[in-house]
């Protein structure tokens, strides 16, 4: 059956790559999920949502494998031109000396079963044998599946939305049960096709989707209807304690409990809380350190006693989803806030506090208070409708984020690199620098968004006509172009020669009117360091 083989998954990826329309992507995914049997569709969903892990297969292994069969110079040149490793290998992979038997019998499930239970030493031979059985399109799909680097223009949320629409389910209900299940999601599809009841996550410490905010643009908010809180500059987390187990989740739903054992150990009261993970310090309101300090704790699988002592973490609480087993999400914000304050009073004050409500008489007074956010290294202000329920995702008119105005600097374009996917033909990733007092240009950041499609074409042309050196897919320019770069903050960094690193840099303007020698200096940027 065609839908059960790798070809169907290849057709899906091909369609998603070349389709820009969100509705068209939803239709493609929905059709695939309805037509494909279990467990293939479940493994495909795991791959599309980033939850499939085949640890034996790494990019370096694949690169070494292909260089045994293809001239390494040819591969490197082709990779630089194509911009995607999987596509390059799929096109260059040589035909086997003897045709493989039953080339159309390979399924997604067979791929996962083979590569999921194999050692790294045996992985090259197994993967090569599968590649020999497939055509170029299916090889591309296999490599994307094996490495987990799909990059086909969809998010995990879009994939779940497609599943919900395909089977007439509520997407928030899908999102909620999702985190209590494991691939290939048999119970999920049993529920979707009416063979079983909705899976329950009641007794599991699972992640619930966060409520998110829309940016405040030109609106002026009536503070009689909205409460204002500070938007702290840490990472959004969810604390869950159910059935004697505690989990700490990031905004993306990743389990980060192991990175912050002191927080998990201090939260032993049944409930689900929403808050901001911070490190103690003297920057944000005099109680929390900068985001740069928090980064010393992020991504660590093992946390030493010294790290725990040097960077003590705590959570500033925003909201409450569950009080014990009671679901509070349908209650208005004001009621949840009252419950949160009572709940937090029972927690360790060294590890948890409640984000204060900003007292302001009217919106004009709040504007004046917000103006001091940068001086206190606070990210901005949150505005929450007092009668708002806690709902997953962004809902118009309920919550707003009013971030502090970005900083800007005039920097000189130094290097450009080809993008990936739809941008593989363009030099779209830009490294830029600022001047030292001695007249040396040093990198301070890298950006790949903020510009329009027309500006991208102009920048690509500039790079191609002002190249002075080539380093694989990277071009060094003549350092004649000034870019106005917007960024949220700037921090000390030992990884960069300049000693500085920007946070969330983006290109806000192309300064063809400004000579490169008049761009900003390292010393000027250093004045904004937090």
Q: Quick check: is 179 in a domain?
A: no
231 is catalytic: yes
Query: Do 434 and 377 reside in the same domain of the chain?
Result: no
Q: Is the pLDDT of residue 22 over 80?
A: yes
Among 403, 424, 449, the domain boundary falls at 403
Neighbouring-strand partners of residue 316: 276, 353
Query: Do 293 and 418 reside in the same domain of the chain?
Result: no
Mean predicted lDDT score pLDDT of the chain? 90
Among 381, 403, 425, the domain boundary falls at 403
Going by pLDDT thresholds of 50, 70 and 90, the confidence category of residue 315 is very high
What is the structure's pLDDT at 108? 92
Going by pLDDT thresholds of 50, 70 and 90, the confidence category of residue 301 is confident
Dist. CA 517–CA 435, nearest whole Å: 8
What is the structure's pLDDT at 15? 92
For residue 29, the enclosing domain spans 2-147
Query: Do 443 and 504 reside in the same domain of the chain?
Result: yes
What is the structure's pLDDT at 101? 54
What is the structure's pLDDT at 100? 55
pLDDT tens digits, one per residue of 59-94: 888 989 999 999 988 988 888 777 788 889 999 999
What is the structure's pLDDT at 365? 93
**What is the mean predicted confidence (pLDDT) over 480-504?**
89
* CA distances for 314 relative to 267, 311, 348, 378, angstroms: 11, 10, 10, 16
**What is the mean predicted confidence (pLDDT) over 292-296?**
85
Going by pLDDT thresholds of 50, 70 and 90, the confidence category of residue 1 is very low
Sign of CA dihedral 218, 221, 226, 231: positive
**Domain of residue 510, CATH code:** 2.40.50.140
For residues 390 and 336, the answer to whether their CB atoms sit within 8 Å is yes
Cβ neighbours, 10 Å, residue 101 = 7
* CA distances for 76 relative to 48, 136, 286, angstroms: 27, 18, 51
Going by pLDDT thresholds of 50, 70 and 90, the confidence category of residue 404 is confident
Catalytic residue among 25, 160, 231, 384: 231
Give the lowest-confidence range in 233-247, 286-300, 441-455: 286-300
Q: Quick check: is 160 in a domain?
A: no
Dist. CA 382–CA 320, nearest whole Å: 16
**What is the mean predicted confidence (pLDDT) over 394-414?**
93
**Domain of residue 217, CATH code:** 3.30.470.30
Query: Do 352 and 433 reside in the same domain of the chain?
Result: no
504: alpha, beta or left, given left = phi > 0 and alpha = psi -120 to 50? left
Query: Do 224 and 360 reside in the same domain of the chain?
Result: yes
**Domain of residue 122, CATH code:** 1.10.3260.10
Query: Do 489 and 350 reside in the same domain of the chain?
Result: no
Dist. CA 297–CA 301, nearest whole Å: 10
Q: Quick check: is 186 in a domain?
A: no
* CA distances for 343 relative to 80, 227, 313, 340, 452, angstroms: 56, 20, 20, 5, 48
Going by pLDDT thresholds of 50, 70 and 90, the confidence category of residue 2 is very low
Residue 320: φ, ψ to 5°: -135, 125
Among 377, 403, 429, the domain boundary falls at 403
Tally of domains within the chain: 3
pLDDT tens digits, one per residue of 431-449: 999 999 999 999 999 999 9
Query: Do 395 and 266 reside in the same domain of the chain?
Result: yes
Question: Which of 244, 180, 246 shows the shortest CA–CA distance to 208?
Answer: 180
């Amino acid at each position: 059956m065609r839908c059960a083989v790798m070809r169907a998954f290849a057709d899906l990826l091909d369609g998603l790559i070349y389709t820009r329309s969100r509705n068209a992507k939803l239709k493609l995914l929905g059709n695939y999920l309805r037509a494909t049997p279990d467990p293939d569709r479940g493994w495909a969903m795991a791959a599309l949502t980033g939850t499939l892990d085949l640890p034996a297969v790494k990019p370096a292994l694949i690169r070494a494998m292909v260089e045994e069969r293809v001239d390494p110079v040819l591969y490197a040149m082709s990779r630089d031109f194509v911009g995607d490793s999987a596509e390059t290998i799929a096109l260059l992979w040589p035909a086997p000396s003897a045709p493989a038997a039953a080339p159309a019998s390979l399924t997604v499930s067979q791929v996962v079963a083979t590569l999921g239970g194999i050692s790294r030493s045996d992985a090259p031979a197994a993967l090569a044998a599968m590649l020999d059985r497939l055509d170029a399109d299916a090889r591309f799909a296999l490599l994307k599946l094996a490495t987990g680097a799909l990059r086909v223009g969809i998010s995990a949320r879009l994939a779940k939305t497609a599943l919900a629409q395909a089977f007439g389910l509520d997407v928030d209900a899908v999102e909620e049960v999702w985190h209590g299940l494991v691939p290939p999601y048999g119970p999920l599809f049993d529920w979707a096709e009416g063979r079983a009841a909705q899976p329950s996550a009641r007794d599991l410490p699972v992640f619930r989707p966060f409520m998110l905010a829309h940016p405040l643009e030109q609106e002026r908010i009536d503070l009689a209807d909205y409460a204002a809180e500070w938007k702290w500059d840490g990472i959004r987390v969810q604390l869950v304690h159910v059935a004697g187990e505690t989990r700490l989740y990031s905004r993306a739903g990743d389990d980060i409990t192991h990175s912050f054992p002191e927080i998990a150990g201090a939260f032993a009261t049944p409930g689900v809380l929403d808050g901001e993970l911070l490190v103690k310090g003297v920057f944000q309101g005099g109680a929390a350190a900068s985001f740069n300090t928090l980064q010393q704790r992020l991504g660590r699988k093992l946390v030493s006693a010294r790290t725990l002592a040097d960077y003590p973490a705590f959570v500033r609480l925003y909201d409450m989803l569950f009080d014990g087993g009671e679901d509070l999400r349908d209650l208005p914000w004001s009621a949840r806030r009252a419950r949160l304050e009572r709940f937090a009073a029972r927690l360790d004050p060294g590890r948890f506090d409640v984000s204060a409500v900003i007292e302001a008489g009217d919106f004009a007074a709040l504007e004046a208070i917000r103006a001091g956010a940068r001086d206190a290294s606070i990210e901005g202000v949150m505005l929450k409708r007092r009668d708002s329920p806690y709902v997953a995702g962004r809902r118009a008119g309920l919550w707003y984020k009013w971030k502090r105005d970005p900083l800007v600097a005039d920097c000189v374009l130094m290097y450009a690199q080809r993008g990936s996917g739809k941008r593989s033909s363009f030099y779209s990733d830009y490294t830029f620098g600022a001047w030292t007092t001695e007249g040396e240009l040093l990198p301070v950041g890298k950006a790949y968004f903020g510009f329009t499609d027309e500006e991208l074409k102009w920048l690509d042309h500039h790079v191609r006509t002002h190249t002075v050196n080539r380093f694989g897919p990277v071009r060094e320019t003549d350092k004649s172009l000034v870019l106005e770069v917007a960024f949220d903050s700037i921090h000390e960094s030992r990884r960069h020669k300049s000693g500085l690193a920007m946070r969330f840099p983006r290109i806000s303007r192309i300064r063809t009117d400004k000579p490169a020698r008049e761009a900003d200096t390292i010393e000027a940027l250093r004045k904004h360091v937090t």
